Amino acid sequence: MPVSDNSTTASNAAGKVAKIVFLSLFALVLVVVSVSFAVHHMRLGFEKEFQNTLIRRVQTDAVNAASAVSGEEIKTDSAKAAQKYGAVLPYMMLDTNEDDYTTQAFGLYEYTNGSLSMMTGNDSDLLVAMSIPVSEWMTNEMTPYEVREKNVYHYLVPIKDQEGNVAALLELSAQSRPINEMGNRLESKILSTVIVAVIVALAGFSLQFIIPPFLRLVSNKNTEATL
């Protein structure tokens, strides 16, 4: 075979390889972007629904627990009330287990002389009631007060005595950061798996276009050497 024919064959093979590499890279980027968008969208939807469910649970549990706390008992003997509710309230809060993917904390505060003092609760950085100005949560309606942060939710319920004055405050807070971290890890694993699978598939697909021209080129060179 003339040298020009060999050059043409090699050039065609190189062109096919370049075309395959370009299309493979384009397909890889397209697949990764599409999967990343779909996984991220589903993850955000799941986390939003989880947050909404968690907020409803926090609100329900906080209101139920606050209704079981007597503001008059706290006003009469706060030390005795602290012992009583310190033993009772943990069983009325959110069910804490490894499957919840949440961190929960509660605090019961006595309200006297315009300020709060901790009576019982978790020793947790999640509790924020004492850092919030009284004027923000103490309103004429005495309705629960909520604070929403990223991945953290606080719910404060005023507790009144028999005269209708605020005697205490119950706070229930929940943090869903663990599920956010789990979502990051899961999303990363899915994308890594997809990328590896696509690369392997494209490599296998590309071999059928690369190997035959290469074998023909080697065969032609061997034939020329024999002649």
Could you report the per-residue pLDDT of 61-76, keeping only the tens digit for each?
999 999 999 999 999 9
Cβ contact 31:141 at 8 Å: no
Cβ contact 186:43 at 8 Å: yes
Residues 171 and 115 in one domain: yes
State which residues form the domain around 12: 3-42+181-226
pLDDT for res 51: 85
Of 178, 193, 208, the domain-final residue: 178
Q: Could you tell me what percent of the chain has a pLDDT over 90?
A: 35
Q: Which residue has the higher pLDDT, 184 or 2?
A: 184
Assess if residue 161 is contained within a domain: yes
CA distance 52 to 122: 23
How does the average pLDDT of the chain come out, rounded? Answer: 80
Residues 81 and 115 in one domain: yes
DSSP letters, 104-134, are EEEEEEEEETTEEEEEEE---TT--GGGS-H
Assess if residue 148 is contained within a domain: yes
pLDDT for res 104: 86
Contacts of 55 (CB under 8 A, 6+ apart): 153
CATH of the domain at 172: 3.30.450.40
pLDDT digits (tens, 9 = 90+) for 79-118: 999 999 999 888 877 555 555 567 889 999 999 989 999 9
Residues 170 and 222 in one domain: no
Assess if residue 134 is contained within a domain: yes
Query: What band does 155 get if pLDDT is binned at 50, 70 and 90?
Result: very high
Residues 132 and 119 in one domain: yes
Estimate the crossing angle of helix 177-226 against helix 3-67, to 10 degrees: 170
Average pLDDT over residues 140-158: 91
Assess if residue 170 is contained within a domain: yes
Q: Which residue has the higher pLDDT, 212 or 143?
A: 143
pLDDT for res 3: 45
Assess if residue 62 is contained within a domain: no
Average pLDDT over residues 32-47: 79
pLDDT for res 165: 92
Helix (H, G, I), strand (E, B) or coil at 83: helix
Whether 48 has a pLDDT exceeding 50, the answer reads yes
Assess if residue 58 is contained within a domain: no
pTM score: 0.68
Query: What band does 11 get if pLDDT is binned at 50, 70 and 90?
Result: low
Domain count, the chain: 2
